[in-house]
Structure 1
């Protein structure tokens, strides 16, 4: 009797990364960030756990890469030519993200593992730096005062979403993007 051997091609490079990140995001959506395990991701992606550890080293690093890859497509940094419109679009998408299971889990996550905490901090730092471009472009175009702090502006808007998600049961008002941006714009425009 001849034993049948599985000759499925091994995933490598970009295909491996794509398969593992998709599987990781699917696990986050299914069980939340805290429920993700490398063994489950590997099985869903059709790869060995060692392939994941070789590339990402730790589970928190894998989760960070997956979430950042999602952010690039799900929360793009708008550039419409108007700082108000950019901020409105950014807030609308951020609020939409906060209303998803993965988004709410990421925002609510409290991490005790030092590597996971470092990854979480790095995730938010990358997103904050990227979003500051909205304000920086507004300053360059003269739409808002040159003295405006881009970081503080984006922390203010993001902080509102964070508070609603973590402290107010995720009950984000439908008009939060418009009311918060309009409130901020009153203080941002040149005098």
Structure 2
């Protein structure tokens, strides 16, 4: 085997490992210092990799933040599929509330509402929400397929109503999200999207 082929294989192997190391280091940095104090140099040092590797792969800090936060949110707040739209929404909202009250979850919300005119921050924030809303809307679309949800129901509006409620608690009220809130919120939203029972 040539040295070139051996080197290529090493680089590919490092690719997956590099991403895992850097994303973990990014989340740790967010937890320790806050989302406004994440720098490539600090993340690279914590991950034990060259700073140039971060520039090559992510280009900008907002892109790195989006990747790290989406990856962690996907793991922490999975999209449930119990066979019941109402139950899926209750679980999703409850898990979102739990995650939003962790250091990383609070940092995520801080990133998505921080006032910053920088185009890269705005782009990163928009990318995060478009991807996350699209994933959560699967719950509503599956319900339409099962005949539980009205065909014309606005999936994005329903998800935003539930998620926005959690965010208001964290960003404006500054209080712990009550345990009963997810179930109560879904009870309020669900009748507006459910397919009416035949008379």
**What is the TM-score normalised by the length of structure 2?**
0.87
Which has a greater percent of helix? Answer: 2
Q: Which residue of 2 aligns with 1:14?
A: 16
Distance in structure 2 (CA, Å) of the matches to 1:106 and 1:148: 28
Aligned residue in 1 for 2:29: 27
Kept in 1, the 8 Å contact 2:154–2:193? The answer is: no
Question: Is the 1:111–1:117 Cα contact (8 Å) retained in structure 2?
Answer: no
Q: 2:143 aligns with which of 131, 138, 143?
A: 138
Deviation per residue, 1:90-147 (Å, 9 max, x gap) = 0011101110122112213314122012101110110001100000001110112112
Q: How many Å apart are 1:151 and its aligned residue?
A: 0.8
Which residue pairs with 1:121 in the alignment? 126
Tell me by how many angstroms 1:165 deviates: 1.2
In the aligned structure 1, how far is the partner of 2:129 from the partner of 2:115? Answer: 14
1:57-92 Cα deviation digits (max 9, x unpaired): 011111111111112211111111000110011001
- CA offset digits 1:15-67 (Å, max 9, x no partner): 11111111111111111111212111101111111111111001111111111
1:75 is matched with which residue? 77
SS in structure 2 at match of 1:28:
helix
Q: Secondary structure at the match of 1:70?
A: helix
CA distance in 1 between partners of 2:104 and 2:145 (Å): 35
Runs of 4+ in structure 1 over 4 Å off: none
2:165 pairs with 147, 153, 160, which one?
Answer: 160
Higher mean C-alpha deviation, range 103-112 or range 34-43: 103-112
Pairwise CA RMSD of aligned residues?
1.5
Structure 2 gaps of 5+ residues are 1-9
Other-structure match for 1:147: 152
* Count of aligned pairs: 183
Q: 1:106, 1:15 → 2: CA distance?
A: 24
Partner of residue 192 from structure 2, selected from 183, 187, 190? 187
Structure 1 unaligned residues grouped into runs of 5+: 1-8
- State how far apart, in whole Å, the 2-side matches of 1:40 and 1:86 are: 39
Q: Distance in 2 between matches of 1:92 and 1:38?
A: 33
Question: Are the counterparts in 2 of residues 33 and 102 from structure 1 also a CA contact under 8 Å?
Answer: no
Give the secondary-structure state (helix, strand or coil) at the position aligned to 2:63.
helix
In 2, distance between residues paired with 1:76 and 1:116?
A: 25
Q: Per the alignment, do residues 111 and 47 of structure 1 end up closer, same or farther by CA in structure 2, a change over 3 Å counting?
A: farther
